[in-house]
Structure 1
Amino acid sequence: MAALFSLVVALIAGILKASTGAGFAEAILYGGTAFATSMGLCLLVLTAIGQL
């Protein structure tokens, strides 16, 4: 579930970055960063509530 949520966040971030006129590679890097950050936060929250 955390991975799917992070994937959606990454896709939205990449699409928004590309819509600003950024290049393809820059949008991919931005989406990857958003995925890693979101996944880290999801794992932190799941650990804090004892689900992981």
Structure 2
Amino acid sequence: HYDSLTGSLRLITIKPMAAPLNYSYPDSSNHSQDSVILNGEVSLLSPWR
């Protein structure tokens, strides 16, 4: 059970790191959109800003 859990976590961590490299270079608009979403999440997580 522990091995399968770490395996799924490994897939989750590796996938997002590999995907942006594939779609960010040909299309810069996707990268800027992601940064906007990240900024929105940060502001939501930081209500004191």
TM-score by length of 1: 0.46
Larger radius of gyration: 2
Higher relative contact order (CA 8 A, sep 6+): 1
TM-score (norm 2): 0.48
